[in-house]
Chains A and B, each alone.
Chain A
Amino acid sequence: MDISKMDRYAAPVPFSSLPLLTVVLGGVGILLLAAFTMIQVTSTKYSRDIVKELFVAFSSSIFLGFGSVFLLLWVGIYV
């Protein structure tokens, strides 16, 4: 394809919004991580709820995953 017919490729996430995204996503991820820790510490052999644990773990890992990628981009590691 001819390059003159192509558009310039801009960043999908503007660099200026990376700090906010990192703090919000990472923050939520860490809060959920704390919730997960609380569940693990307080529950006993008879009160474990696998569904609840998996749900918190899953949502926390999604937030932490995206948050850490934006953190890498923010600090200049362009993955």
Chain B
Amino acid sequence: MRIFILFALLGAAFAEDAWKAANIDRTIDATSQIVKISTLYAFENVGAGPQSTVLVALSPEETRGLSLITAGVEGTKGKLKLVEKPAENGFSIYELDLRSPIAKGSKISVRVNLKITQVLEPLPAKIPQADSQFVVLHTSAYVPSKYVADSQRTVIRTTQGGKLLSTTAVNPTKQETERVSYGPYANIPAFEQKPIKVHYENNSPFVVATIVERLIEVSHWGNIAVEEYIELVHKGAELEGTFSRIDYQMDRRGRRQPAFQQFTTVLPAQAKDIYYRDEIGNITTSAVRIRADSVDVEIRPRFPLYGGWKTSYVIGYNVPSEEYLYTKGNQYALKTKLFDHVFNDIVVEKLRTKVLLPEHVRKVKIVTPYAVDRRPDELKPTYLDTTGRLVVVIEKSNVVPDHSQFFTVSYEFTYTDMLREPILASVFFFVLFLVIIVYSRFDFTISEDPAKDAAERAQRCVLLLSQDVDAKQNAYSDLISAAQAYKSNKDEAKLSSARDVFSETRSYYNNKLTEKINGMKKNDSNQNQNIAEKSSELLKYDKSAFEAVESFVKAVEKSTSKSAGQEEQQFASKVKEARSRADSILASI
């Protein structure tokens, strides 16, 4: 087995490469805390036939802090597919899929971009407040390559206007302002390294977010709430000695101090209800600027961040759902950013994006633009929930601003499930009402109070009787008004029909009243007997009222004049009297 591996390694070492690098042009941008390496390879196919894949190598230092690697054919848009292959000689190998085969003897230019974090070493590691920050960049004068390179050169960009303390010389080396160039070197074999150090001034704050927790809460009532919890640590040269606010205010370097003073967070254009706070509460030193295609929040933390200092805060806002949420039938898709802008050149050690979906979603699927770690789903009960909402948790470590890309969460949801929330609230109120209804039916009296009891009973009787009496009196007045109408239009049919209706309702209510009164008479309590006797008078007065009305109607039929005669008025007053008598009887009970 070992011999086989040995042979395999030997074979690999002596195998003729299918490619060679005709020219490599590398630019290392080390102006911020992120080292951005952009390498332009001109590969030439020297193999036996057409090739459709090519390999690129990354040095161990590059691999250590690698956050993002992208590749593309120079001069065209679109990215090439990258597949990581087993390491060789300590170098990471990535295979690029060129999409179309390259014929033997042809060349292709490929640009590979690397974003490398936390590799710049502050030297000195501790500085007083007034000093500038210097860092060391460790890299190789030769571009790491899987293939022999005919010619190559490297340019390292350092801070504008900053000092360049020292550089390792690998001739030809040229040290200019703001940049150091190495090369061109001819015929460098594969995997050849020449370690170099560049020690230069870099005052850009080395602020790293140890965690960014991004919570996206989807509400089908039309809102998407985004909240980010961010912990920042300045990982540059640590502050030595004391901090003086006066020195800080009077520092003539201004913004070019190695301290992190303020930054701008770019939010989506539709963002509203923005808040920025920490454990203490709202941080007032922030301003919102509305731009044409974004909302910029200018944030100034409570204190400037010096080396080794940390702070944490929460920023949140609302976005209308039409911005990010799509639907078709019961299918929904949320397309939003997995990571959003915090400040330029931020490095995030751990990004945790949580998506809170509405209750009762089904078939959740996630499509991300790059590989992420999907953690087990969680349940979070919030307002008006029964079982809790599904939380999709996504994690990713070592994130740079280039990771600010869209991802999609698709799920199924039934529209009517939205009604659960108001119905839940209604049920809550109804239960309260039920408690009152049941409670009021309990009797908590210790000793019986017959007088009060009887009074309540009597009140009930009066209520029942008065309903009937009122109804009957309405019938009387209906008839009278019908009679008055007859006076003007002489429509006999109408009058007779009104009469029929009247006599019907009258007898109906009279029967009802008698029934009720008889019911009371049967009751053995004294009180009830009294009530019954008094109420039977109601029927007596009814008779006189009835006669009065009858004769009134007759008088109306006879009379030819339109105005009310004296007789008629007499009758009308009689009816009124009957009514007031009935009322007084009820009141006496």
- A→B interface (CB under 8 Å): 1, 3, 5-15, 29, 36, 40, 44-48, 50, 53-54, 57-58, 60-62, 64-66, 68-69, 72-73, 76-79
A46-B320 contact, Cβ under 8 Å, with A3-B408, A12-B221, A78-B221: no
- Asked whether A47 and B463 contact (CB < 8 A) given A1-B410, A9-B321, A69-B422, the answer is yes
B437 interface hit (Cβ, 8 Å): yes
> Quick check: B328 and A6 within 8 Å, CB to CB?
yes
Closest to A8 in B: B322
Q: How far, in whole Å, are A54 and B431 apart by their CA atoms in the complex? A: 11
List residues of chain A with CB within 8 A of the CB of B323: 8
Contact status A44-B425, CB under 8 Å: no
Across the interface, A76 reaches (CB within 8 A) one of B318, B328, B459, namely B318
- Knowing A1-B331, A8-B322, A10-B222, the reply to whether A69 touches B384 (Cβ < 8 A) is yes
Whether B425 contacts A69 by the Cβ 8 Å rule is yes
Decide if A79 touches B457 in the complex (CB within 8 Å). Answer: no
Chain A residues whose C-beta falls within 8 Å of the C-beta of B421 in the assembled complex: 69, 79
15 A-B residue pairings within 8 Å (CB atoms): A3-B408, A6-B333, A7-B328, A11-B223, A36-B436, A40-B440, A44-B456, A44-B460, A46-B456, A47-B460, A53-B437, A61-B433, A65-B424, A66-B422, A73-B221
CA A25 to CA B351, docked complex, whole Å: 43
For A72, give its contact among B325, B327, B383, B418 (CB under 8 Å): B383
List B residues 417-455 near A (Cβ within 8 Å).
418, 421-430, 432-434, 436-437, 440-441, 443, 453
Give the residue name and chain of the A residue nearest to B430 (CB): A61
With A3-B335, A69-B421 given, is the CB distance from A11 to B429 under 8 Å?
Answer: no
Closest to B459 in A: A44
Report A-chain residues with C-beta under 8 Å of the C-beta of B423: 65
Given contacts A3-B333, A66-B422, A69-B422, 16 further A-B contacts (CB under 8 A): A3-B408, A6-B333, A9-B326, A11-B222, A57-B434, A57-B437, A58-B430, A58-B433, A61-B426, A61-B430, A65-B425, A66-B425, A69-B421, A78-B219, A78-B225, A79-B382
A77 surroundings in chain B (CB, below 8 A): 383
Note all chain A residues with C-beta closer than 8 A to B263: none
By the criterion CB–CB under 8 Å, are B383 and A9 in contact? no
What's the least CB distance linking A52 to chain B, in Å?
A: 11
| Complex alpha-carbon distance, A61 and B153, angstroms | 78
Give the bracket for the number of chain B residues in contact with chain A.
35 or more
Give the residue of B223, B326, B427 whose beta carbon is less than 8 angstroms from that of A7: B326
> Given A6-B331, A47-B463, are A64 and B429 also a contact pair (CB < 8 Å)?
yes
Q: Is the CB of B332 closer than 8 A to any CB of chain A?
A: yes
B220 contacts partner chain A, Cβ-Cβ < 8 Å: yes
Write the nearest CB–CB distance from A49 to chain B, whole angstroms. 11
Known: A68-B425, A69-B425. A78 touches B441 (CB 8 A): no
- Listed from nearest, the 7 A-B pairs whose CB atoms lie closest are A11-B222, A65-B426, A57-B433, A61-B429, A6-B326, A78-B219, A65-B425
Min Cβ gap B445→A in Å is 10
Task: Name which residue of chain A comes closest to B443, CB basis.
Answer: A45
Measured between beta carbons, the chain B residues less than 8 angstroms from A53 are 437
Interface string of B534-561 (1 = CB under 8 A from A): 0000000000000000000000000000
